[in-house]
Amino acid sequence: MKIQLMEILVCPMCRSSLDLKVTEQDDEEIVEGELTCTKCGEIYPITNTIPNMLPPSLRDS
pLDDT digits (tens, 9 = 90+) for 3-61: 999 999 999 999 999 999 999 999 889 999 999 999 999 999 999 999 999 988 888 75
Calpha distance 47→16 (Å, rounded):
22
Residue 19, domain member (yes or no): yes
* Structural domain boundaries, residue 30: 1-40
Q: Among candidates 49, 23, 46, which has minimal Cα distance to 35?
A: 46
Is 58 inside a domain boundary?
no
pLDDT value of position 61: 56
Query: In this structure, is residue 55 part of a structural domain?
Result: no
Q: Is 3 helix (H, G, I), strand (E, B) or coil?
A: helix
Report how many domains make up the chain.
1
Classify residue 61 by its DSSP letter.
Answer: -
Provide the 8-state DSSP code for 17: -
Whether residue 26 is contained in a domain is answered as yes
pTM, to two decimals: 0.89
Q: Distance between CA atoms of 58 and 3, rounded to whole angstroms?
A: 25
